[in-house]
Structure 1
Amino acid sequence: MKHRSLLLLILFTSSILSFENSAKADQKDGRLPALFKRLLTAPPGPYSIIIESKIWTIWLENSDPKITELMARASRATQNKKHTKAFDYYTEVIRLSPNYAEGWNKRALINYLIGNYDKSLSDINRTLSLEPRHFGAISGQGLIYSAQKKWTLAKKTFEKALIIHPNMQGPKLNLEILNRQNLEEEI
């Protein structure tokens, strides 16, 4: 319990500090290369989680208050399972800022949640064209391939996510599951 409280305090503090530099924004931020380099060598546990959190915070940053507000509204709609509303907000973000990778990534999530896998993959591809290191989008791609029973693609995609973020739990667990199963041949 003590360890968990310390981790939460560290995550909260790192989030606050990240917002101080929000004049820079999104996937082009100059802080990202060093964070990705540290992510590669970070041990599993709190340190890796803090680095990941900082990356997500930077990806979400945007210097345009309109985009920031739309992203907040979309996030609340997503949390409340109002997927159509969230989709509309993210679409407006993309319309206003087509080079903002996180707008595409979040809309990909909504498409995934409502079962529009092809549209989700399209949004993920756009995300990755803007931010090739987007381990969240890559992992999402693996989930879609798993849902489509494209086991080989799913495994390769989860492995690709782990090359960028070796301690990311989702791809690790999904790979373990895929490796334990006697997978049927893909159609």
Structure 2
Amino acid sequence: MKKLLFAAAFVASPVIADCPAPEDHSMELEGLFDAARAATNDRAGREISGKMWQVWLRAPNEAAQEVLNNGLKRRDSYDFAGALKEFDRLASYCPTYAEGFNQRAYIHFLREDYAKALVDLDKALMLSPTHVPAQSGRALTLMNLGRIDEARAQLLEALKNNPWLSERFLLADGGPLALPGKDI
């Protein structure tokens, strides 16, 4: 009976069918990047940043969206182990969906496993080179690994598409990613 119940639960799992390729949102994102570059204040920049997040958080299908949403809920309630399981499922089910790797990287980052975070961030950026959250997350990860020059370069790359990232302040005079030779 236990085997039958396990088999039934596995079949009902939302990740049995193949995950479709993620939609190409590059034109939509390019418009949002242009809008962010043109924004004249922090409030407008944050609003556009939120719209960018809405694009990245659009999973390829309902099953993937359900797994992503479950992982986000677990993350938001500080159930990092549970969130990691969900994002593992998402990355396995949708290996071409960058956000699955970005979210899993964030959990690794929160757990201070920077080496694993970097692997997932590199995968996310391989899939989606202009994924600004993965770019800024990679900058923070590199900074925590003491790779300051790489972190600075990565953050500058992220800021090209969204100059309103809160991480921009890391580049300010006296900040951990400030240009060398500038003192407080």
- What is the correspondence of 1:106-145 to structure 2 with a 5 Å cutoff? 106-145=103-142
One-letter amino acid matched to 1:83:
F
What is the CA–CA distance in structure 2 between the aligned matches of 1:162 and 1:111, rounded to whole Å? 23
**Highest Rg: 1 or 2?**
2
**Percent of paired sites with the same residue:** 25
The reply on whether 1:33 has 2:34 as its aligned counterpart is no
| Partners of 2:108 and 2:114 within 8 A in 1 | yes
CA 1:27–1:63: 2 relative to 1, 3 Å: closer
- Other-structure match for 1:173: 169
Q: Give the one of 64, 70, 93 matched to 1:73.
A: 70
One-letter amino acid matched to 1:28:
D
CA RMSD of aligned residues (A): 2.2
Q: How many residues are matched?
A: 158
How far has the Cα of 1:67 moved from its partner?
A: 1.0
- What is the correspondence of 1:2-81 to structure 2 with a 5 Å cutoff? 28-29=24-25, 30-81=27-78
**TM-score, with structure 1 as normaliser:** 0.77
How far has the Cα of 1:26 moved from its partner?
A: 5.5
One-letter amino acid matched to 1:118:
A
Gaps of 5+ in 1: 1-24
**TM-score, with structure 2 as normaliser:** 0.78
- Other-structure match for 1:155: 152
**What do residues 96-136 of structure 1 show as CA deviations (whole Å, max 9, x unaligned)?**
11111111100010111112111111110111111111111
How far has the Cα of 1:76 moved from its partner?
A: 1.2
